[in-house]
Amino acid sequence: MRLVGVTLVLTDETAERVAAALGKLGRVLRSSAHRWDRLDIGVRRTDVPLLRRLQHDGEQRLSDLAEPQCVSVSVISRQVAALEHDGLVERRVDPTDARVVLIRLSDSGRERLADITRRYATFVHRALDEFDDSEARRMAELIDLAAERMSAELDSPPNERTPDA
């Protein structure tokens, strides 16, 4: 549990309940990943985060794509080569530094990502249709916040982490 002043913010029991719920959600998401592999959508599920990043942040260097996925540039380079072969991304030489390659989403990649986003949104809509819009928005906010805080905890120096984290 964590104390702020004298006020108890989160009990151990609640933290354990949240951890169990996150574990359950993780199992469901892994199960949906196995279903994804059987769908014919023309893209590997492991490529979607990279495509989303290019859509959100625009053109990127290979090293900038590798870092948030915690992989080497050689791994990203192979992934990008496959996506380029599939016509989903394009590469070009950086006009300010000929040693640097820039990767961007192609028009086909944008269309494919839009289709994937629609399909996944349909799945989420069906699965969560008993929630009203404000509840679903609040759920999204809380999931985002939890992901950010848990990521920050994982990124903190080991001596600053809580035991067993």
Condensed to tens digits (0 to 9), the pLDDT of residues 4-56 reads: 555 658 889 999 999 999 999 989 888 877 776 666 677 888 898 999 999 99
Q: Is the pLDDT of residue 163 over 70?
A: no
Q: Which of 44, 58, 62, 64 is nearest to 112 (CA)?
A: 44
Strands 60-61 and 97-105: antiparallel
Q: Tokens representing 55?
A: 């859509």
**Residue 141 φ/ψ, nearest 5 degrees:** -60, -45
Q: What is the mean pLDDT of residues 130-155?
A: 92
Condensed to tens digits (0 to 9), the pLDDT of residues 43-95 reads: 888 898 999 999 999 999 999 999 888 889 999 999 999 999 999 999 999 99
What's the rounded Cα separation, in Å, for the pair 164 and 146?
A: 18
Instruction: Report whether 49 contacts 69 (CB < 8 A).
Output: yes
Q: What is the pLDDT of residue 103?
A: 97
Q: Tokens representing 81?
A: 């080569």
| Block residue for tokens 């309940």 | 17
What stretch(es) of the chain map to CATH 1.10.10.10? 39-156
Q: What is the mean pLDDT of residues 118-127?
A: 88
Selected residue with higher pLDDT from 130 and 163: 130
Q: What is the pLDDT of residue 46?
A: 83
Cβ partners under 8 Å of residue 151, min gap 6: none
Phi-psi region at 38: left, alpha or beta (left = phi > 0; alpha = psi -120 to 50): alpha
Helix pair angle (48-57, 107-127), 10° resolution: 110
76 CB neighbour count, 10 Å cutoff = 21
Confidence tier at 155 by pLDDT (50, 70, 90): confident
Q: What is the pLDDT of residue 18?
A: 93
103 CB neighbour count, 10 Å cutoff = 22
Q: Is the pLDDT of residue 156 over 60?
A: yes
Q: What is the pLDDT of residue 82?
A: 95
Selected residue with higher pLDDT from 131 and 41: 131
Q: Which of 67, 68, 51 is nearest to 106 (CA)?
A: 51
What is the CATH code of the structural domain delimited by 39-156? 1.10.10.10
Model confidence, pTM: 0.72
Confidence tier at 131 by pLDDT (50, 70, 90): very high
Cβ partners under 8 Å of residue 91, min gap 6: 80, 84, 101, 102, 103, 104
